[in-house]
């Protein structure tokens, strides 16, 4: 009997207690770097969207 093929990614479990101090430091560094990159991308999208969609353009300037 074959196993059904699941689409998507498998959850990843990280066991910090089995990592060396250098590996824990590197993991923390990479996670903080990823969060900074994601935040920067989100801010650029919001700033870019602000120039495209405005209250005046939607006819809502008087209602705000």
Name the token pair of 16: 């910090």
Place of tokens 């560094």: 29
The pLDDT tens digits for 2-14 are 555 555 667 767 6
For 19, other C-beta atoms within 10 Å of its C-beta total 13
Q: At 17, is the secondary structure helix, strand, or coil? A: helix
Q: Whole-model pTM?
A: 0.39
pLDDT of residue 5: 54
Q: Give the integer Cα–Cα distance in Å for 12 and 38.
A: 20
Output the six-digit token pair for 24. 């824990």
The pair of structure tokens assigned to 34 is 């990823």
Structure confidence by residue, pLDDT tens digits, 8-63: 667 767 666 677 888 888 888 988 888 888 888 777 777 765 555 555 555 555 55
């Amino acid at each position: 009997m074959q196993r059904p093929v699941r689409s998507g990614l498998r959850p990843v479990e990280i066991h910090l207690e089995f990592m060396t101090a250098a590996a824990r430091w590197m993991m923390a560094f990479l996670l903080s770097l990823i969060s900074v990159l994601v935040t920067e991308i989100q801010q650029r999208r919001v700033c870019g969207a602000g120039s495209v969609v405005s209250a005046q353009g939607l006819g809502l300037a008087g209602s705000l």
